[in-house]
Structure 1
Amino acid sequence: MHCPFCSAADTKVIDSRLVADGSQVRRRRECVSCSERFTTYETAELVMPRIVKQDGTREPFDEGKLRAGLTKALEKRPVSVENIEAALDRIKFRMRSTGEREMDSRIVGEEVMTELKELDQVAYVRFASVYRSFQDLNEFRAEIDKLSRDAIQSDSSKLADGSKPAEGSKPVDSSKPVKSTQED
Structure 2
Amino acid sequence: MRCPYCGGSETQVKDSRPSEDGAALLGRRVCPDCAGRFTTFERVQLREVVVLKRSGKRVPFDRDKLQRSIGVALRKRAVDPERIERLVSGITRQLESAGEPEVTSEAIGELVMAGLKGLDDVAYVRFASVYKNFREAKDFEDLLGTLGDGLLAVGAETDASPDPEEPEPDAPPRRRAVRS
TM-score above 0.5, yes or no: yes
More helix by share: 1
Whether contact under 8 Å (1:50, 1:61) holds in the other structure is yes
* Structure with bigger gyration radius: 1
1:52 counterpart letter in structure 2: L
Amino-acid identity (%): 39
Whether contact under 8 Å (1:48, 1:95) holds in the other structure is no
Whether contact under 8 Å (2:46, 2:97) holds in the other structure is no
Structure 1 moving runs of 4+ over 6 Å: none
2:107 alignment counterpart: 107
Distance 1:44 1:117, change over 3 A: closer
2:124 alignment counterpart: 124
2:60 counterpart letter in structure 1: P
Structure-1 separation of matches of 2:109 and 2:96: 15
The alignment status of 1:98 with 2:98, answered yes or no, reads: yes
1:138 alignment counterpart: 138
1:116 counterpart letter in structure 2: L
Structure-2 separation of matches of 1:69 and 1:106: 14
Instruction: Give 1:48 deviation, angstroms.
Output: 3.5
Q: 1:90-110: CA deviations, max 9, x gaps?
A: 101111121000100100000
Unaligned runs of 5+ in 1: 1-19, 24-42, 152-184
Unaligned runs of 5+ in 2: 1-17, 25-42, 152-180
* TM-score between both structures, scaled by the size of structure 1: 0.57
2:90 counterpart letter in structure 1: R
Structure-2 separation of matches of 1:44 and 1:67: 16
Distance 1:58 1:137, change over 3 A: same
1:54 counterpart letter in structure 2: R
Structure-2 separation of matches of 1:136 and 1:147: 18
Matched residue of 1:59: which SS? strand
* TM-score between both structures, scaled by the size of structure 2: 0.58
